Structures are given as C-alpha cells and as structure tokens.
Amino acid sequence: HSHPPSYPHSRDDDSPTHSNPDNVRKKRGLGVVCGCFRAQDAIPTQPLKPTLPEAAPPSPKAKSYLGPQRGRDVGKKTLVLDLDETLVHSSFKPVANAAFIIPVEIEGNVHDIYVLKRPGVDEFLAYVARFYEVVIFTASLSKYADPLLDQLDTKRLCTWRLFREACTLRNGSYVKDLSKMGRDLATLIIIDNSPLAYSLQPDNAIPIKSWFDDDNDRELFDLMPILEALAMVEESIPTVLKQALSTVEGEEADMAMNEASHNHRR
C-alpha cells in the first residue's frame, strides 16, 4: 500500500516496538558496558581523539549516500540520528509553546507545522558533534524536514541530511539501510525511536523512547556519556552493542536464578 503523504507523525502511527524488552535491556547494558571505559563525566576541554578499528573501505560498487568525510569529521565514527519523535515532535495542530512553525505546501495548500523540541536537543547536538560525524536520516520529506533542520541546527553541527528518498521501502514501511551510507558499519551508530527503521542492521542501533511532549524526558541527556564512551572504543560498534545486551541478559538470568533458589529454600 502507498505510504500516506503525512509529514509529522501522530501518536496513532507511532511504532509500539520501542518498549521491546531487548531494547530496554540494550540501553541498560550500555550503561554497564560503557561504565568500564567511559571518560570522566566532566566535559573535557579537548575531546579525546576517537579511535577507529582497522576496517576495509566500503565497497565501491554502489553509489553511497554520503561523500567522503569532511574537515572536522575525518577519522570520526558516524552517528545517524532520526528526526521525528527522536529529536522533535511535529503536529498540524497549533501548540502555544512551539519552538518553530514550518509552512509546508501540500497539494497546493500551505499548512503550518508546529514543532516541539525534545528536552536537551540543543545540548545533545553540540555535544555529539565533538565526537562524531553527525547525520540526520529521516523518513520525512525534505520540503518539511529541510527547513525544520535549518532552524534546529543553525550551527550546522549535522554534516549530512538524508530524507525519505534515501529510505528503502519494505512491506510498505520506510527502512534505513545503513549499508548504503558509504561508511564502515563497524564505526556507525543509529539512534531511532522506530526499531523497524533499523531492522536491517539492528546491532548498530541504540533504542530511544518516542517523544511527544514530556518536559521531564531525559533520554538525550542520558545518551551523552554513553555516546562519548562509544566514540573511544576500539572494538566494532555491533560487537559492543551486542555485549551490552548480553551483559544485562546475564544479570537478569542471575537474578532469576537467585530468586528461584530463594523461593526453593523457603
């Protein structure tokens, strides 16, 4: 079936899969795993030089979405960020506290789209741009997302922008195929509120809860020390993220065994 031409997503079409227990475990495991090698919580005046594993260059056979790394990004790992419900929430309904209002022409009529910013998004983008080559990859159309990003990212901290045309359509849904980006998957992380979006490369993903309007949300703040630590690891990103998941699964298994043993003794 054809995908609706909607721009902002509503609560109704949000994927419920962000509450998948594996995603929750993976996030918790990252705190455990990254705690071993993470930099000091205090923000250093000069970021440490991120280390990259030895890697084969991407296969040249297909044209990549991204060109060569530029200037400040050379040698950094790549962080791919979703837009809607990850960094912002947009709605056609007027809201009093909108950060931006984006006029978009749809079928000959101009509609205003009201955009709310997730708590911490400005600090988050400024922070991660020190350690990563930052890419915004959204399934939204560029005529909505591009002017939104012009206002969200006024300092151009995000080097690349990819829109719906860069997505792969699978079973009526837009999927982000990270293998087409022209970057080594060993050095690439995606953060997206929809597991379907990264279903081709789930081991490269850090899950994040969908955000609509919760002023007390702390997800972006919580991710900052984790991402700083991941920028420094020498192992491949999928290896570290899988280790995070297995670490927590092991902890849960131990807790279950202890509880069973305790109940048995009673």
Active site residues: 82, 84
Q: Which of 216, 190, 204, 205 is nearest to 128 (CA)?
A: 190
Going from the C-alpha of 63 to that of each of 60, 101, 116, 264, the distances in angstroms are 7, 35, 35, 61
Burial class of residue 30 in the structure, from the number of CB atoms within 10 Å of its CB (0-12 exposed, 13-18 middle, 19+ buried): buried
For 205, half-sphere exposure in the C-beta direction (CA atoms, 13 angstrom radius) is: 23
In sequence order, what are the residues at sequence separation of 6 or more whose Cβ sits closer than 8 angstroms to the Cβ of residue 65? 160, 162, 166, 180, 181, 182
Q: Quick one: the chain helix, strand, coil %, rounded to 5?
A: 40, 20, 45
In whole angstroms, what is the distance from residue 243 CA to residue 37 CA? 14
Burial class (CB in 10 A: 0-12, 13-18, 19+), 14: middle
Q: Which of 227, 173, 220 is nearest to 196 (CA)?
A: 173
Confirm if 188 and 81 have CB atoms less than 8 A apart. Answer: no
